[in-house]
Structure 1
Amino acid sequence: MKQLLMKSFVVVALAIPALLNAQNLKGLNIIMTSPDAQTQMMGMVLATMTLKKHQKEVTITLCGPAGALAVKGEKSALVKRPGGAKAVSPKMALKGLIKAGAHVALCPLYLPNAGKDASVLLPGITIAKPPLVAKKLINADYNNISF
Structure 2
Amino acid sequence: MREIITAAALGLATLTNPATAEDSKKMVTILTSAEPQTQLMGMVLTMQTIKAGASSYVLLCGPAGDLALKEAPASATAPQAPMGMSPQGLMQKIIEAGATVEVCAIYLPNKGVDTTALVEGISAAKPPAVAARLLADETRIMSF
Q: Percent identity?
A: 39
1:56 maps to 54
Tell me if 1:93 matches 2:94. Answer: no
CA distance in 1, matches of 2:36, 2:22: 30
Structure 2: 5+ residue stretches without partners: 1-8
Q: CA deviation at 1:131?
A: 0.6
The superposition leaves residues 73-112 of structure 1 with CA deviations (integer Å, 9 ceiling, x where unpaired) of 112133212xxx3x11100000111011111011111111
Q: TM-score, normalised by structure 2?
A: 0.84
Q: TM-score, normalised by structure 1?
A: 0.82
- Secondary structure of the 2:57 match is strand
Name the count of aligned residue pairs.
132
Structure 1: 5+ residue stretches without partners: 1-8
Which structure carries more helix by proportion?
Answer: 1
CA distance in 2, matches of 1:15, 1:121: 43
Q: CA deviation at 1:35?
A: 0.3
2:16 maps to 15
1:43 maps to 42
CA distance in 2, matches of 1:124, 1:61: 13
RMSD of aligned alpha carbons: 1.7
CA distance in 2, matches of 1:15, 1:30: 25
Moved beyond 4 Å, runs of 4+: none
CA distance in 2, matches of 1:13, 1:123: 41
